[in-house]
Amino acid sequence: MATTSNPPVASATLARGVIYIHSAPRALCPHLEWAVGRALGRAVNFDWADQPVLAGSRRAEFYWEGPAGTGAALATAIRGWEHLRFEVSEDPTPRSDGGRWLHTPDLGIHFAQTDTAGNIVIGEDRVRYAMEIAAGDVFELQRELQVALGTVWDDELEPFRHASDDTPVVWLHKVG
């Protein structure tokens, strides 16, 4: 009598990435740790620091590891809170694409696929859509590609990314 065996179960592909909480109200900080911990399946503690760009807010960076797709779970777990600015990255693995999730209170969330060098990858269908919407208008094509790249999210988050204890904020638009 022939016996059959089940094929070996492939282990989940381990991914890693970073959560950048660029600005969060103080009262929200423990809730963010709880939400991230729940998504990761373990308790986490962030090393919070004051965010000099926005008085009364805090910032943190947290490096994580988990199964591929954890970046999406983390972004989903912390999106939707008012006054929260964050960025989640997931590095690509041999079996999965990388990704970047950006969130601001005014713009909501933006997702972009990334390659092994961290570059944003715009899919063929998105490029075709941009060309169709632009209908030959070079300025509209540029606008559509900037949306696909998340340029307005990057522009809004940039001051928050560079504001830390070691990097003083330079306010070019403030007078006096």
What are the φ and ψ backbone dihedral angles of 125, each rounded to 5 degrees? -65, -35
- Please indicate, yes or no, if residue 115 is contained in any of the structural domains: yes
- Please indicate, yes or no, if residue 128 is contained in any of the structural domains: no
What are the φ and ψ backbone dihedral angles of 110, each rounded to 5 degrees? -130, 135
- Please indicate, yes or no, if residue 74 is contained in any of the structural domains: yes
Token reading at 49: 């620091």
Note down the domain range covering 55: 14-121+153-165
- Please indicate, yes or no, if residue 116 is contained in any of the structural domains: yes
Question: Which pLDDT score is estimated for 162?
Answer: 84
Mean pLDDT of 82-110: 94
Residue 78, number of CB atoms within 10 A of its CB: 23
pTM for the complete prediction?
0.82
**94 has pLDDT over 80:** yes
Kindly give, in sequence order, each residue whose CB lies less than 8 Å from that of residue 69, ignoring residues fewer than 6 positions away. Answer: 15, 90, 96
- Please indicate, yes or no, if residue 127 is contained in any of the structural domains: no
Task: Say how many domains are in the chain.
Answer: 1
Rounded CA separation 18/122 (Å): 22
- Please indicate, yes or no, if residue 142 is contained in any of the structural domains: no
